[in-house]
Amino acid sequence: MKKINGGVTAPQGFLAAGINVGVKPGSKKKDLAVIYSVKKGIASAVYTKNKFKAPPLFVSEENLGNNEAQAIIVNSGCANACTGDQGKTDALKMTSLTASVLGIDAKDIIVASTGVIGVYLPMDKIEAGIKEIKNHLSEEGGTDASLAIMTTDTVNKEFAYEFELGGKTVRIGGMAKGSGMIHPNMATMLGFLTTDAAVSKDALKDIFKDVIDDTFNMISVDGDTSTNDMVCILANGEAGNLVIEKNTEEYLKFKDVVRKICEKMSIAIVNDGEGATKLLTIKVLNALTKDDARKAARSISTSSLVKTAFFGEDANWGRIITALGYSGAEIDPSKCDIFLGDLMMAKQGKAMVFDEDAALEILKKREIEIVCNLNIGSENAVAWTCDLSYEYIKINAEYRS
């Protein structure tokens, strides 16, 4: 597996573009993106579980009923959420306009929006932008598309890998946006993956669900799950490999690369968390079940007290063990060990005398690892989060200003 450039246009047969159409008044930033496959492919997606799911997600879910797609249209600056029938009409219009411009079926288009909730899309600007964006589609357009989906993000989040599969070179590309309203409950942001691999619908669906559970569903910035979250993958088969089927060697190899790129995008989101100064990796080891391991890791990752302690560079391991205790996971307090990096803070659930200066040196780092060994089983899980800072409050207090 080799890291390459190009993002979503790194795989064969994909074009993309990102332009400014003025969705957010006064902004010159790109705010409309298109990803297009030269031929229709198969697709899989996961969506937010927020009850106030935005209209674009309902449209995308309906369009992906047959697990087929050929293009993705996304705007930033307006979430088109809590907009009722008009919101769905506008989302459908985005697909029909895109279909007309690209010469494909509107049912083969995934649509997404991100931005302020409770605001109607400026459809005059969206319509003009969709007509214009076709002129910008190119094999080099992945970065522009990635920039166009950003809101409070401070860095562009795109990745691509290539690897050998059945004697053919296969590529996977991805782009994501997310910085706030990030919490494990599917999908915690917007993420789009493309691949030129040939893969069966059943295999892609199973791979994607399993990978999401271990990546995008294991990150948290602030405990808020948005109305517009989704992650999808589109495969067009242009690499020419034999179709990947379930429970084969090729299936496992492909799944491993999908996991790697999803993990990279997930960590990039947390690392860019609003106001974040620390990236925290939480490893829970030797839990009784996989579900217990995930519960424990997530509980620590979403604890405001844990997150503020790390912002203050305070070696308060009591907050970690408290979050473990209310996680709902099966835990034997007399067997639990807590580490900050390689420094043991607690053994068998009890306090230890540890080197405070050594702890402070670890806490001053940008990237910090927390290890909780439950010592009652063999299942492990990893979660990622960031600290909670003064800047997070400032960003969100002024979000609509």
Q: Does position 189 have pLDDT exceeding 80, yes or no?
A: no
Across 165-187, average pLDDT: 76
Q: Provide long-range contacts, Cβ within 8 A and 24+ apart, for 304-307.
A: 304/223, 304/388, 307/280, 307/385, 307/386, 307/387, 307/388
Q: Whole-angstrom Cα distance, residue 177 to residue 66? A: 26
Q: Whole-angstrom Cα distance, residue 265 to residue 258? A: 11
SS3 3: strand
Element spanning 35, H or E: strand 32-47
Spell out the domains of the chain, with CATH numbers in brackets: 2-271 (3.60.70.12), 279-397 (3.10.20.340)
pLDDT digits (tens, 9 = 90+) for 101-154: 999 999 999 999 998 889 999 999 999 999 999 999 999 999 999 999 998 788
* pLDDT for residue 79: 92
* pLDDT for residue 289: 98
* pLDDT for residue 26: 83
CB-CB contact of 109 with 68 (8 Å): no
pLDDT digits (tens, 9 = 90+) for 210-233: 999 999 889 887 665 667 788 999
Sign of CA dihedral 269, 228, 232, 40: negative
Q: Whole-angstrom Cα distance, residue 251 to residue 236? A: 16
SS3 367: strand
* pLDDT for residue 306: 95
Pick the most confident of 202-216, 224-238, 364-378: 364-378
pLDDT digits (tens, 9 = 90+) for 259-277: 999 999 999 988 887 788 9
Q: Whole-angstrom Cα distance, residue 218 to residue 384? A: 6
Q: Whole-angstrom Cα distance, residue 238 to residue 139? A: 14
* pLDDT for residue 341: 94
Q: What is the pTM of this model?
A: 0.90
Q: Does position 285 have pLDDT exceeding 60, yes or no?
A: yes
Phi/psi of residue 320, each to 5°?
Answer: -70, -50
Among left, alpha and beta (phi > 0; psi -120 to 50; other), residue 331 is beta
* pLDDT for residue 187: 38
Which residues are known catalytic residues? 188
Average pLDDT over the chain, rounded to an integer:
92
CB-CB contact of 48 with 187 (8 Å): yes
Across 7-13, average pLDDT: 98
The closest alpha carbon to 197, from 256, 264, 141, 118, belongs to 256
